Structure formats: C-alpha cells, structure tokens
Amino acid sequence: MAKMLRPFFFKSLFFFWYRFLFRQLKSLIGFHRTSSQFKYQKYFSLLQRSDLSDRTLIFDVEGVLFRSSSLFPYFMLVAFEAGGPLRAIVLTLLYPLVALVGDEMGLKIMVMICFFGIKAESFRVGRAVLPKSFFEDVGSEIFEVINRGGKKVGVTNLPQVMVESFLREYLQIDSVVGRKLRVFCGYFVGLMEDRKTTQTLEQIQEGKECSDTIGIIGFNKIRDQDLLSHCKEIYLVGKADKRGWQKLPREKYPKSLIFHDGRLAVRPTPFETLALLMWVPFGFLLAIMRISIALSLPYNVSTPLLTFSGLRLTASMPEGLQNCPNTKGHLYVCNHRTLLDPLYLAFILKKNLIAVTYSLSRMSEIIAPIKTVRLTRKRDEDAKMMKELLQQGDLAVCPEGTTCREPYLLRFSPLFSEMSEEITPVAIDSYVNMFHGTTAGGLKCLDSIFFLMNPFPVYSLKLLNKVLTRSPSENHNSHTPFYVANHVQGEIGNALGFQCTKLTRKDKYLMLAGNEGIVSKS
C-alpha cells in the first residue's frame, strides 16, 4: 500500500509545483508582452509633470497608493468586525496557506473566509471601519501626484464594497474599478465576479473632459490590460520607491476622518493579530479584576491598585480649584471619550459624582460604581431632572452626547449652561493600544470591558478655570446658552489641541450604524 501511495504523492507534488511555477512564468510572459506595447517610464519622471490636471490618471490602488503590499490587515478587520472573533481565528490559522498559494488564490481564500454568510445590506465595515486603516497606509508622495489629476480612476483587486467608499468619499477619486461580490438571498457567498472593463471604460470617458490617459502601476502588478491599453503613457512604481514614502499627514486629508468604528485599535498584521488573540483571555480576566476593584473599594484604596494593574491616569487642575471647599451641587462639563469619563473624574476629585447620559446599556448601569441617570431627550423634563440632581450632589455631563475617537469635538448641547451659574470645564483625552472602548454598530454593553482589556490604557484629565454662565455686565445677550456652550467647547478644544465642529450625535450614528444611536433601557 505504501509503495502505491509513494508515486501518487510525488506525482501530486510535481503537478502542484508545475502549476505554481507555470502561473508565475505565464504572468512574466504576459508582462513582457504588455511591456512591448507601451513605453514604460519611471515614477520619478511623473513628479515633473505640470499638465496632470488635463489628464486622466488610472492607478493601481494596492500596488501604487498603499505603502504596504499586504492585504491581510484589511481582511482581518472585515473578519473581526463583520464576522466575529471565530472568523478572525480561522483567517489567522489559514494565513500560511494564503501566503503559499499565490496572490490571486490567496485573495479568493480570504474573501471566502471573511464574507461568506455576511448580510450584504448591513455590511458597513467598508465605510465605518476600513477608512482609518486605509488612511494610515496611503503614501503622501504618490497621493500628491494622483490628486493633481483631472480625472482619477482607481483600479483594485479588492472587493468593491471594501474600498469604494474610502476612495470616493475620503480621497475624492472619480471612478473605482473593483470586483463585485456575489449575493444570494441578501447574503454574500464569498465569491468575486470579474471586473466589467467595457462598462468602466464608458464611465471613464463620461464626465470630466481629459485629453490623454496616464497609467500608474506597481512593477509586475498589471491588474487589467484592457484598461491600460487605452493609456498613452504608463509609469512604474517600484518597491524601492514605496519604501521611502511617508504616511499621509492628517492635515492633507481631502476629507477629515472624524468618525470611525470597530473594536481593534492596532493595525492587525499577522503578528499583531496572533499576539492580540493570545492576549484576549488574559485581558478579559484583567478587565473583570479592574471592575471588581473599582466597585468594592474606596477611592483612596482602588486608585493605587488600578494604577498598579496598568491603568495610567494623569490630571491637572487650577490652584484655586484645588483649594476650594468640597461643596455640593457643582457642575462639571466634559468632552466625551469613553463611558468611563465621569468615573475617572470621580477618581481625581476623590468624591462621588452623578453622571447624566444620553443613552446607556443596562450592563453599563449595573457595573458603574457611581450613580448614572438617563436623559429623556425632552428639554423641559431633562432640565428639571438635572436641577434636582444638582441639589443632591456634584453633577458630570458630557454635552457632546456621544464619544469621538479622533481629535475633534462635536457640537455641545446648550442645556447644561442653564443649570448652574458657574461650571468647570474638564478636558479629557484617552489612549488605547489594543481595543477601542467605544462602538456605534456593536454591543455597547461591552464598551467598558473592551477598554479595560487594554494592557496599558491611558487617561488624561485637565480641569480648567470656572466659566460663568451669567454675564456680570448689563449686556446679558453675550452669555446666551448657545454662547456659553460654544465658549466651553472652545476652551476644551484649546486645552486639548482638538478642532471644534458642528457635527452631532445623530450625524455620527447615521454614518456609522444607520440609526440615531438610541439604546433601549430594557
């Protein structure tokens, strides 16, 4: 039996390597044939062109725009955020096979693992999660060149639902040539369709009038020869060129990235993903221990223990505030980074606070060591309730109404300015190295647990000088509720170096989750 299996084994091994090497040889021959049709030029000569605004630029997204050549981090985000931890584990375990079988087959395997059984209508990872990771991989030098083009066309081998929203909305690319995913009964089946080149060429010819077409491709990364056959010139970008590119700075983003979702705070490379998955059981136990300490021990005891467990907290406050008596009924107005903002403020002040929230899951209410009260979103009822709470003790409120991860402040609701004659603004910032402690489309009851699962989360609080809500002069119009709200927002923004916006909670949730972000109390 062994003698019969041995020739079969070597025969199968021979045909495997024959097909693998034949595929590579075929691609090289195709590249050689295609290169004989066009005159290829180096990427550096494109930098000197001053007439790009009159040209149509067709560029390879993975081979040119992104600095990294690995697609694994993007599919890991899809697997973890859209499919759950089990898909992420399967993708990690099968990654050696993906790396072995070649680019095209490896891509098909990752698509099958990540998309099979995912509901197409509710898939929002391409718009809510991936833009953050894509931005961090865009080369600043090549983007400046592409951005000068009159009409810009991105050609990608990725599924179109992954990359189209980022290219169109954030980079302002006119056309995206990607691969459609097959759908059955409203669910992805994990298979990709070929690009429809003919329809794409018709779309490129419409709209902006551009005389000639220029192709920009990665070396030996020709995605679509039919598209490139319409190019008058083709420029090659080598790995050495990409190696020297810098990350696109935030101030050069065509559209600011203010909102993004997802739990993972790291770029999930294969090594980072493996380390993260190994940390999860230890991180969960660490989060439970931290919660138990905060719930069962007084501030003087719990604070040093939590610091010993890895939580980092820095705080500063004006001298006058440090020396003021511990009176009740004071209003603290904070910007919102995570659900733990009022809790960390209580640790700094070493006294109990009452936190009012716009929406909070039942789980978060149960594990909160301080009193939390929900707002009803009815102005008169909320105003009456907040005044009653101020009679009971100090009150902390986050008038943004929702969290924002990036260095931006959302519009402050002016209701807080009518509650007290003086308020203390609190500028809050936080840092995590594995998991985000906020979500728009996921389970909000796990927000605090995910934040506390980080090995070394950092919190920074700055208590600012008090702000009067009543004008001491005769010009009472200068201190209207809207004026006070905008003034407090500006003070916190200046203290943190954040940019103030007029965006609201509703804007965030409509973009990231397709709803208004109201959590049921039951």
Q: Which residue has the higher pLDDT, 237 or 45?
A: 237
Report the chain's C-alpha Rg in angstroms: 28
Phi, psi of 141 (to 5 degrees): -65, -45
> Is residue 215's pLDDT more than 90?
no
Report the pLDDT averaged over residues 464-481. 71
| Across 96-105, average pLDDT | 91
pLDDT of residue 285: 97
What is the per-residue pLDDT for 52? 84
Confidence of residue 225 (pLDDT cuts 50, 70, 90): low
- Enter the tokens of residue 364: 């978060």
Q: Tell me the pLDDT tens digit for each residue of 325-345.
A: 555 688 999 999 998 999 999
Average pLDDT for 483-508: 94
Rounded CA-CA distance 138/64 in Å is 9
Which pLDDT belongs to residue 36? 45
Arithmetic mean of pLDDT, 387-409: 92
Q: Model confidence over 14-56: pLDDT tens digits?
A: 555 555 455 555 444 444 444 445 556 766 677 777 788 888 8
Question: For the chain, how are helix, strand and coil distributed in percent, rounded to 5?
Answer: 50, 20, 35
pLDDT at residue 204, rounded to an integer: 61
Q: What does the pLDDT look like over 110-161, one tens digit per residue?
A: 999 999 999 999 899 999 999 999 999 999 999 999 998 888 989 888 999 9
The full DSSP string for 141-204 is HHHHHHTT-SEEEEEEEEEHHHHHHIIIIIS--SEEEEEPEEEETTEEEEEEPPP-HHHHHHHH
CA distance 130 to 147: 21
- Please give the biggest Cα pair distance in the chain: 104
d(CA 351, CA 34) in angstroms, rounded, equals 73
Q: What burial letters (b/e) apply to 278-304, b meaning 16+ CB within 10 Å?
A: ebeeebeebbeebbebbeeeebeebbe
Residues 130, 135: Cα–Cα separation, whole Å: 9
- State the average pLDDT for the chain: 84
pTM over 0.75: yes
CA gap 323, 300 in Å, rounded: 19
Do 169 and 255 touch, CB atoms closer than 8 A? yes
Quote the CA–CA distance of 233 and 239 in Å, as a whole number: 20
Three-state DSSP at 504 gives: coil
DSSP H or E run through 135: helix 130-135
Would you state the pLDDT for residue 44? 67
Mean pLDDT of 229-254: 86
Structure tokens that stand for 138 in this block:
């865009």
Which residue from 207, 258, 211 is spatially nearest to 230, judged by alpha carbons? 211
Is residue 351 predicted with pLDDT exceeding 90? no
Is residue 177 within 8 Å of residue 155, measured between CB atoms?
yes
